Amino acid sequence: MRDVAIIGIGVTKFGELWDKSFRQLIAEAGAKAIFDSGISGKEIDALFIGSMSAGRFVGQEHVGALVADCAGFSHMHIPATRVESACASGGVALRQGYLAVASGMNDIVVVGGVEKMTDVVESEAINILAMGLDQEWEAFFGVTFPGIYAMIATKHMHDYGTTREQLAQVAVKNHANGALNPNAQFRKAISLESVTKAPMVAYPLGMLDCSPLSDGAAAVVLCAAEKAKKYTQKPVKITGSGQASDMLPLHGRKDICTFEATVHAAKKAYNQAKVEPKDIDVAEVHDCFTIAEILAIEDLGFVKKGEGGKAIDKKITTLGGQIPVNTSGGLKAKGHPIGATGVAQIAEIVMQLRGDAAERQVKDAKIGLAHNVGASGASCAVHIMEAM
């Protein structure tokens, strides 16, 4: 296996993008990434695209070929593969691209992620998202993702003393970061009181504890590391890549407050990168709900199990903290266009390691981590990156 570097990134704005289509979004992100990398289209060996449910959101399947076409590469007959792993579709697509280059099969690969979720009414979007749950044991009985994560949050509060205010502080922190991100869906700071008094969705989670429905796309260009400096003076090497899965229904797990897929994917990535959690300078984690970020920082080893809420109180994960988390604003404020999320996380870490994150820049960031979860934790991809 050979080393793999990221040489280009591109991210669209996230939000309710009524004036842009599915194909326009992914073409925009891809063009930005290719321009940033300095490659030409004829050098691309393969495309991998993360998208959870384009068939239901916009009525479009055969996404791989569509992306190759709208990017202007159809005449070059580049192999294009669509990857689906619920909310982890982008992170798993990145891993497929990484493996293609690391194996020596390809030299340059473009990985994209895209979702356009606001073209359907909210009730239909909820039904589409519930397809990521176990249909027979969960969705059939009417459970939704807010309901699933509310059960997890309630158990975490019971077992570890996590408070409603600690959950709310996650949203406050991530909105403060999102206010600094020009591509974020919500560029506005919020108060603790506004979170705790927001309309309840599923106790203890209110409206401001939940990530939004979003449109958007992101793309990165991967290259064999030994060739990276031919294209850019700021390549970022992927030093660790881990993927794992777990039982799909929540009731089958031994501890619903631990996502074993995260634990095992992270272990693989840490071992490959030869680093430990304490070595990570900045992280993007999957905060689809505020409790999800608390679980993530525990399962990734940044804090001990049960101490995620206390870590929020101690401001360990703020921009100036010990391990800044979700500097982009996270899914909560940046937005969560399902297929694009995992790729956008990678792009944010690349920006941090390049020193290009402007007002949200983490000082002296050298090692970063991206953590992308599918649905209620049944799949996970973790990537560790270092500035070359």
Q: How far apart are CA 148 and CA 96, in angstroms?
A: 29
Please report how many Cα atoms fall inside a 13 Å half-sphere around the Cα of residue 180, on the Cβ side. Answer: 18
DSSP state of 120: S
C-alpha gyration radius of the chain: 19
Torsion of CA 293, 299, 301, 305, to 10 degrees: 90
Question: Closest Cα to residue 175, out of 368, 327, 342?
Answer: 327
Q: How far apart are CA 160 and CA 118, in angstroms?
A: 37
CB atoms within 10 A of CB 7: 28
Question: Closest Cα to residue 212, out of 157, 174, 250?
Answer: 174
User: Which residue in 87, 210, 223, 288 is the catalytic one?
Assistant: 87
DSSP state of 300: T
Burial of 233 (0-12, 13-18, 19+ CB in 10 A): exposed
Report the relative pairing of strands 108-116 and 200-202 from DSSP bridges: unpaired
Give the tokens for residue 25.
């979004």
Q: How far apart are CA 56 and CA 76, in angstroms?
A: 29
User: Which residue in 156, 175, 264, 336 is the catalytic one?
Assistant: 336
87 assigned to active site: yes
Please report how many Cα atoms fall inside a 13 Å half-sphere around the Cα of residue 152, on the Cβ side. Answer: 29
CA distances from 100 to 1, 55, 75, 95, 105 (A): 10, 26, 22, 9, 6
Look at the block and give the residue holding tokens 């290009």. Answer: 356
Q: Which residues are catalytic?
A: 87, 336
